[in-house]
C-alpha cells in the first residue's frame, strides 16, 4: 500500500510540475522563478523586509506565502521550513482567493521630459520607505504643499540643501515646482540608497491602462561593478501630467538599465543590435532579447547557471520550436542568444554557452542535437564580426547602405590595428588622416568640449596589438553629434565603439571614428580615443 501511495504521489508531483511548466507560472514561494522554493527565496524575502532589495508586484504575491498581506520574516521562516521538509506546501502556503500572478503589460509610454537626479543623503531609518508606495521609496506629489510636507518630514539638518560632487541638491532641483507647476503636473519621486559613486536616471515611464498603473523605470547610468564602499542616498524625479495621474490607482517603480541585445537584420544576413532595458538579471536579459525580436516570440529562460567557464541556459519549448523554423533561424536565433549572454557577462565568468530545453539537450530540425557549448557567432559575409547598435528614439545619420559600408571599413580598420598592420589601416584612410603629423591633434569639426585624441594609425596599432578586443565589434553613433557634417561633397558621420582592454576588464575605453562618405566611397577621416 505504501508503494502504491508513493507511486501515486510521484505521478501527481510530476503532473503538477508539468502543468506549472506549461503555464510558465512560478509556484508560491518561488520568488526568483528558478523552479524551486528554497533558502534562496527565503533570503530574498529577508532582504526585501530589510529594504535591501526590490520585489515587483508578482514577486511580492509569491513571497507572501502565508497570505497576511505582508512580506516579512514570517514568510521567510515558512519557506525555510518547507525547504527542509518540516511542513508541507499547503502548510507553507494555504489556498488563497485573491488574484495570482498579474501578466506583464508593455503599457503606453509617457514623456520623461524634465527628469532629474539629485542628492538625498543617507537615511538611517525606515520611515522614508514605510511612508512610500508599497514600501519601495516611491512617492507621488500632487501639490506644492505635499512636496513641502515631504521636505519638512525628511529634510532635517539641511540635508536637502547639500549637493554631492557633481550631483545637485534636492532643493535646488525642485525649487521651481510651485503652485503653477502642480496645476498641470504631479511629481513622481523615487528614493535610491546606494554607494556614493553610482549615478541614476529615469529611463522610462509606462501607463499600464488595463490595471490603471503607472510604472517608473529607473537605473544606473554607465553601470559598472566597481563602486565605493560608502552608503548614500539619491532621488530621481520626473513630472507627470495631471491628466495621466488622475487615471491611476496604483504606482510602481522597477529597476532597469540599458543593454544592447543582438537581433537579425531584416534580410537575415547579418547581426545588428538594439538598445533595450532589462532588470540586471539573466532572465531579464533574455526577456529583453525576446521583446526586441532576437529570439522567437514566447521564448523564456527557465534556468541559468555557470560551471567551469560554461554558462548553462535552459530555455522553454517555444525557443526550440521557433529556432527550428529554418536554417537561417537556427543560426541567427541561437547566435543572438549566445552573443547577448556572452557580451553581458560582467564578471567574465564564462566563455561559452550551452543551451538546453526543459533540462534536456536542445533538438532542432536541421542541426539535430545541440550538445556542445557554443562560442561567439560572428555573422556572415562582408560584415562578419561587426554589428550596429540601434538606440531608442535615435535619429538616423546615415543611410542603411552607408551603415553597411561603414561597418565593413571600421571592422577591417580595427582588425588591421589589432594585427599591428599600420599600412593596411592607412589604406582605408583619407589623405587628411595620412597627412596628420601632430599626435593628439583635435579636429575642429568635432563637438566642442568633448575631446577626442587622435594619433597616426601606426601609434594606435602598437596599442591595439596588446589589447584583447571582442569577437564582435559593436558600433553606434557618437552620442555628442546632433547631425551629420557636410563639407563640400563629403558627408561626415561619427561612430563610436567601446571595449575592455583585456579579459580581466581592467580598462574600458571608447574610440571614435570620423567616417567620410563621398559618392560610393567610405573612408576613415580620423580615429581617436574619446575621454
So where are the chain's domains?
A: 27-92, 108-255, 259-377, 386-530
* pLDDT value, residue 443: 47
In tens digits, the chain (531 residues) has pLDDT values of 434 434 443 343 433 443 333 334 578 899 888 878 999 999 999 988 887 776 776 788 889 998 888 899 999 999 999 999 999 888 898 876 554 544 556 789 999 999 999 999 888 768 899 899 988 899 999 999 999 999 999 998 899 999 999 999 999 999 999 999 999 999 999 999 999 999 999 999 999 988 899 999 999 998 877 888 888 999 999 999 999 999 999 999 999 999 999 999 888 888 999 999 999 999 999 999 999 999 999 999 988 999 999 999 999 999 999 999 888 889 999 999 999 999 998 778 999 999 999 889 999 888 899 999 999 898 877 778 898 998 877 888 999 899 999 999 999 999 998 898 989 999 999 988 877 544 334 444 444 455 666 677 888 887 788 787 888 888 999 887 878 888 888 899 999 988 765 555 445 678 889 899 988 899 998 888 876
Give CA separation, 342 vs 170, 281, 353, 428, in Å. 39, 14, 8, 30
Candidates 496, 517, 404, 488; CA nearest to 446 is 496
Q: How far apart are CA 98 and CA 101, in angstroms?
A: 10
Check: CB of residue 453 under 8 Å from CB of residue 531: yes
C-alpha cell at 422: 599600420
Confidence at residue 132, expressed as pLDDT on a 0 to 100 scale: 92
Half-sphere exposure of 424 (CA within 13 A, CB side): 14
386-530 has the same fold as 27-92: no
Alpha helices in 359-476 (DSSP H): 400-418, 422-426, 431-434, 457-464
Within 50-118, where are the H helices? Answer: 57-63, 73-83, 89-92
Classify domain 27-92 at the CATH topology level.
Type 1 dockerin domain (1.10.1330)
Query: For the domain 386-530, what is the CATH code?
Result: 3.10.450
> Mean pLDDT for the chain?
85
pTM: 0.72
End-to-end Cα, the chain, rounded Å:
75
pLDDT of residue 2: 39
Q: Are strands 213-220 and 490-500 parallel, antiparallel or unpaired?
A: unpaired
150: cell is 515631504
To 10 degrees, what angle do helices 282-291 and 327-343 make?
140
CA dist 323 and 325 (Å) reads 6
- Nearest CA to 410 among 270, 522, 507, 501? 522
Amino acid at each position: 500500500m505504501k508503494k502504491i501511495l508513493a507511486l501515486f504521489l510521484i505521478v501527481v508531483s510530476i503532473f503538477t510540475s508539468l502543468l506549472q511548466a506549461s503555464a510558465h507560472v512560478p509556484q508560491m514561494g518561488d520568488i526568483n522563478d528558478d523552479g524551486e522554493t528554497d533558502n534562496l527565496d527565503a533570503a530574498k524575502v529577508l532582504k526585501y523586509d530589510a529594504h535591501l532589495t526590490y520585489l515587483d508586484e508578482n514577486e511580492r504575491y509569491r513571497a507572501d506565502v502565508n497570505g497576511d498581506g505582508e512580506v516579512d520574516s514570517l514568510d521567510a521562516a515558512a519557506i525555510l521550513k518547507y525547504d527542509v521538509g518540516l511542513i508541507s506546501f499547503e502548510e507553507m502556503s494555504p489556498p488563497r482567493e485573491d488574484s495570482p500572478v498579474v501578466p506583464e503589460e508593455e503599457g503606453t509610454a509617457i514623456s520623461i521630459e524634465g527628469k532629474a537626479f539629485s542628492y538625498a543623503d543617507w537615511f538611517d531609518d525606515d520611515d522614508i520607505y514605510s511612508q512610500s508606495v508599497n514600501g519601495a521609496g516611491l512617492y507621488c506629489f500632487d501639490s506644492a504643499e505635499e512636496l513641502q510636507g515631504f521636505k519638512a518630514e525628511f529634510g532635517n539638518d539641511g540635508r536637502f540643501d547639500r549637493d554631492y560632487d557633481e550631483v545637485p541638491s534636492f532643493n535646488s532641483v525642485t525649487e521651481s515646482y510651485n503652485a503653477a507647476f502642480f496645476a498641470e503636473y504631479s511629481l513622481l519621486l523615487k528614493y535610491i540608497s546606494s554607494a556614493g559613486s553610482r549615478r541614476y536616471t529615469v529611463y522610462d515611464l509606462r501607463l499600464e491602462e488595463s490595471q490603471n498603473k503607472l510604472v517608473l523605470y529607473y537605473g544606473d547610468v554607465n553601470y559598472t561593478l566597481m563602486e565605493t564602499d560608502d552608503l548614500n542616498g539619491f532621488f530621481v524625479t520626473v513630472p507627470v501630467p495631471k491628466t495621466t495621474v488622475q487615471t491611476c490607482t496604483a504606482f510602481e517603480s522597477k529597476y532597469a538599465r540599458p543593454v544592447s541585445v543582438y537581433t537579425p537584420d531584416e534580410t537575415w544576413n547579418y547581426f545588428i543590435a538594439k538598445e533595450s532595458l532589462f532588470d540586471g538579471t539573466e532572465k531579464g536579459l533574455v526577456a529583453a532579447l525576446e521583446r526586441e525580436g532576437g529570439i522567437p516570440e514566447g521564448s523564456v529562460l527557465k534556468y541559468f547557471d555557470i560551471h567551469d567557464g560554461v554558462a548553462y541556459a535552459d530555455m522553454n519549448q517555444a525557443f526550440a520550436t521557433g529556432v527550428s523554423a529554418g536554417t537561417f533561424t537556427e543560426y541567427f536565433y541561437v547566435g543572438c542568444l549566445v552573443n547577448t549572454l556572452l557580451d553581458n557577462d560582467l564578471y567574465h565568468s564564462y566563455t561559452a554557452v550551452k543551451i538546453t530545453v526543459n533540462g534536456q539537450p536542445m533538438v532542432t530540425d536541421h542541426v539535430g542535437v545541440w550538445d556542445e557549448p557554443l562560442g561567439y557567432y560572428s555573422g556572415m559575409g562582408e560584415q562578419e564580426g561587426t554589428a550596429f547598435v540601434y538606440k531608442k528614439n535615435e535619429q538616423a545619420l546615415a543611410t542603411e547602405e552607408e551603415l553597411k559600408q561603414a561597418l565593413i571599413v571600421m571592422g577591417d580598420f580595427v582588425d588591421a590595428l589589432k594585427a599591428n598592420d599600420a599600412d593596411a589601416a592607412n589604406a582605408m584612410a583619407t589623405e587628411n588622416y595620412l597627412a596628420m603629423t601632430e599626435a593628439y591633434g583635435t579636429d575642429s569639426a568635432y563637438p566642442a568640449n568633448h575631446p577626442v585624441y587622435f594619433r597616426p594609425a601606426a601609434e594606435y596599432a602598437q596599442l591595439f596589438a596588446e589589447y584583447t578586443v571582442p569577437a564582435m565589434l559593436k558600433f553606434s553613433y557618437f552620442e555628442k553629434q546632433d547631425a551629420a557634417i557636410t563639407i563640400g561633397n563629403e558627408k561626415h558621420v561619427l561612430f563610436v565603439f567601446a571595449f575592455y582592454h583585456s579579459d580581466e576588464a581592467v580598462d574600458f575605453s571608447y574610440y571614435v571614428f570620423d567616417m567620410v562618405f563621398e559618392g560610393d566611397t567610405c573612408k576613415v577621416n580620423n580615429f581617436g580615443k574619446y575621454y
